[in-house]
Amino acid sequence: MVLGIFSYGYFLNALIISSRIRFFDRRYGHVDVLVFHGYLAVVAMLFAVGHRLLKSAYYREMSTQIGFGVVGFYLFLAVVALSVLFMDNRLLRRLKPFVALRRFGVGVLRLDYSLLKLFHNATSVAALLVTVHVLMASSTREDPLRIALMGGWAGVAGLMYLHHKAVRPFLAWRKGWRVTAVIPLTEAIVELRMRRPGKPVGRRPGQFGYFRILSRDCGSEEHPFTISSAPENDELRITVKNLGDYSATLKHVCVGTKVMMDGPYGIFTPPVQPRPLLFIAGGIGITPFMSMVASWRHHTLERPCTLIWSVRTAEELVRRELFDTTAKERAMFSFVPVVTRSVQPGFPYRRIDKRLLESHSPPALRKQMLVYLCGPESMQAAAAKYLKELGVPSGNIHREAFLR
C-alpha cells in the first residue's frame, strides 16, 4: 500500500509538472522541467511495479476496484516504456540494442514523434483510472481526510492538465498570429515571419514557443521553435531547418495562415550583469543567438562577446549579415564562422577545438565568462569539456538542447 501511495503521488506530480507552469519554467528552464517530469514518471512506474507485484503475490482475488488499478497500471506502463524507448534522447541513447530498437520502431513501425506524443495523452486516462482505484480502496474510504487528500490531489492534477490541454490552446487560438512571409534561406532552412494585432508579446531573447501552424500540410501538431527575432520587434520570426516530416512542410506554408503560439518559455538568456560572453552555435542552433544579437542592436553593448558558429558549408551561414554588421559596428562583439566541410578563403577554422576556444577566451576573463552553447549534443559535449579544461567553471556553461 505504501508503494502504491508513493506511485500515485509521483504519477500525479509528473502530470502537474508537465503542464508548463511558468514558475518552474522561470526557475529551472522548460527543458529541465520536462526532463524532471520524465524522471518522476519513471520513479512512479517503479513504485507501481513494486505495488502490483506485492499485491498480486498476497491478494489473488479480483474486484472492480483492483480492475481499475490494473488497467491504469498497464496503460501507464505502456506510455512510460514507449516514451523512454522512443522519445527520450538521454537515458538509453548510448546503448546499442536500444539504438537498434529505436531504428526499428521509427523505420519499420513508423513510430514518429508526433504519434508518440499523441499516445502520451493516454496518461490522463491512466491517471483517472488510478484515481478511481485509490478512492475506491477500503484503506482510503475509512477516513474522510484520506478521501479529501487523495481526491484533492487528483483534482489539482486534472485541472492543471485541462488548463494545459484546453484553456491554453483556446487562448493561443484567440490571440492567433498570421504568417506575413515565408522566406527560404537555403534548400533546407526556411524563415517564417508572423504578426498579430494588439500588444506585442513580452519575451526575452533566446526564448522559444510551441507553434501550431494551422495549414492543411502542417495539421494541428505542436512543435517547439526558438523565436529568432528580437523582443523589440513586434514581428515573430522562426528559422527552421528541415529535420523531419513536419519541418519539411514549413516551406509550403502560405502567407495569411493562422498560427497559434504557446509561450514564450525558456531561460537561455544571458543575465543583464555586464559579464563577458562566449556564444557557441552549431548549425541551426544559431537561432537563440540571432535574437540576442538582434536585440543588442537596440541597446549599447557593454561587455565583450564572441560568437563562434560552426556549420558544414558556408551556405548554411544564414542571416550572417546580422553578425557581420554587428561586428563592424560594435568593437566589443566578434564573430567567428567555422566551416567544417570545405577549405575556403575567409574561414580559417575547420573545427571548434581547444585551440580555437583558447584563442577566443582570454585567460583573465575565463573565470567570470558566461558561455552559451546551442547545437548538436556531440558538439556541446566536446566544447563544454574543452572549456572546463581551460578553467571555465562548469556553472558558467549554459546549454540548450533542441532534441528531447
Ligand X SMILES: Cc1cc2nc3c(=O)[nH]c(=O)nc-3n(C[C@H](O)[C@H](O)[C@H](O)COP(=O)(O)OP(=O)(O)OC[C@H]3O[C@@H](n4cnc5c(N)ncnc54)[C@H](O)[C@@H]3O)c2cc1C
Judged by the rule CB under 6 A, the positions of this chain that interact with ligand X are 31, 89, 112-114, 117, 208, 221-226, 238-241, 243-247, 284, 287, 402-404
**Closest residue by Cα to residue 343 from 355, 351, 333:** 351
Query: Nearest approach, Cβ of 290 to ligand X (angstroms)?
Result: 9
CB–CB of 116/80 below 8 Å?
no
Identity of residue 318: V
3-state SS class at 24:
helix
CB closer to ligand X, 83 vs 361: 83
CB closer to ligand X, 31 vs 154: 31
CB closer to ligand X, 98 vs 349: 98
CB closer to ligand X, 276 vs 283: 283
CB closer to ligand X, 28 vs 74: 28
CB–CB of 330/293 below 8 Å?
no
CB closer to ligand X, 221 vs 235: 221
Query: Nearest approach, Cβ of 338 to ligand X (angstroms)?
Result: 19
Query: Nearest approach, Cβ of 39 to ligand X (angstroms)?
Result: 17
Query: Nearest approach, Cβ of 401 to ligand X (angstroms)?
Result: 6
Identity of residue 228: S
Query: Nearest approach, Cβ of 268 to ligand X (angstroms)?
Result: 8
**Closest residue by Cα to residue 20 from 266, 381, 307:** 266
Query: Nearest approach, Cβ of 25 to ligand X (angstroms)?
Result: 11
As a whole number of angstroms, the distance between CA 100 and CA 88 comes to 15
CB closer to ligand X, 3 vs 111: 111
Query: Nearest approach, Cβ of 375 to ligand X (angstroms)?
Result: 11
Strand order in the sheet with 223-226: 223-226, 208-213, 258-265, 177-184, 189-195, 236-241
CB closer to ligand X, 317 vs 369: 317
Query: Nearest approach, Cβ of 183 to ligand X (angstroms)?
Result: 14
Which long-range contacts does 174-180 make (Cβ < 8 Å, 24+ apart)? 176/214, 176/258, 176/259, 176/260, 177/236, 177/258, 177/259, 177/260, 177/261, 178/256, 178/257, 178/258, 178/259, 179/213, 179/253, 179/254, 179/255, 179/256, 179/257, 179/259, 180/235, 180/255
Query: Nearest approach, Cβ of 16 to ligand X (angstroms)?
Result: 20
- The residue with cell 502530470 is 15
Question: Phi/psi at 312 (nearest 5 deg)?
Answer: -80, -45
CB closer to ligand X, 140 vs 239: 239
Element (H, E) at 72: helix 64-82
What does each C-alpha distance from 293 to 108, 175, 176, 287, 312 come to in angstroms?
43, 27, 27, 10, 22
Which residue is nearest to ligand X, using beta carbons? 244
